[in-house]
Amino acid sequence: MHSRLGKSLVATLVAVLALAIAHWFDAGVLLDAQRRAGVTFEPGLLFYLTPVAHLITAAGVVALALAAWWSRSLLVGVGYVLVGGFLVLLPATVWEFATSVNGAPAPAPEPIATALGNWYFTLAMGVTGSVFTLGAAMLIAGLAVIGRALRAPRREPAAEPATAPAPESDSA
């Protein structure tokens, strides 16, 4: 049981780190290089950093998938599905709920629409959209882990072997 908890924590940490690193590189480093290229009209650093952003995203996808599969935890699978599904559906959800902020009949309360909009515009700042790609990877990996957990045969605790009674001696 202790090993499963450790694996679940590692899978969670991998997800947090993959999302944080991808967002930092995409919305920080790469966006800054893009702005500089827009001012000087020389691609310079942007030319070299864009492939690195794609490599970081691909490495994050592989790390998420391996960590989720290695954990074999239904809880990790559900967590990955919830977070990944939220990230994948966030753009569509924001644009659906944006009408409540712009004065149309509100499908959601304005504070919820505003909060979703803030999340979306924070994550969408990136040049390559790597956070949304990692969200899709989390969703798929989570579904695979849930499927694996539900299809896995249940292991019953091993019964203690029956001990045969000691033979009685016929000495009288």
Q: What is the pLDDT of residues 1-60, one digit of tens each?
A: 568 889 999 999 999 999 999 999 998 888 888 888 777 777 777 778 889 999 999 999
Torsion of CA 109, 110, 113, 117, to 10 degrees: -170
In 3D, which of 125, 116, 120, 139 has the Cα closest to residue 25? 125
User: Does 169 reside within a domain?
Assistant: no
What pTM was computed for the model?
Answer: 0.77
Q: How far is CA 102 from the centre of its chain?
A: 31
Q: Encode pLDDT of 126-170 as tens digits.
A: 888 899 999 999 999 999 999 998 987 766 665 566 566 666 766
Asked if residue 161 belongs to a domain, the reply is: no
Q: Which of 88, 32, 29, 92 is nearest to 56 (CA)?
A: 29
Q: What is the DSSP string of 15-50?
A: HHHHHHHHHHIIIIIIHHHHHHHHHHS--HHHHHHH
Answer for the pair 30, 49: CB distance below 8 angstroms, yes or no. yes
Distance CA(79)–CA(8), nearest Å, equals: 10
- CB neighbourhood size of 80 (10 A): 30
Structurally, the chain folds into a number of domains equal to: 1
Who's near 98: CB < 8 A, 6+ residues apart? 113, 117
Burial environment of residue 153 by CB neighbours within 10 A (0 to 12, 13 to 18, 19 or more): exposed
Q: Two tokens at 156? A: 């019953």
Enclosing domain of residue 120: 2-150
**164 lies in a domain?**
no
Asked whether residue 135 is domain-assigned, the answer is: yes
Q: What is the largest CA-CA distance in the chain?
A: 108
Q: Are 127 and 56 in contact (CB under 8 A)?
A: no
Domain-embedded: residue 112: yes
What is the band of 106 on the pLDDT scale with cuts at 50, 70, 90? low
Q: Domain for residue 170, yes or no? A: no
Q: Answer yes or no: is 168 within a domain.
A: no
Q: Is residue 172 part of a domain?
A: no
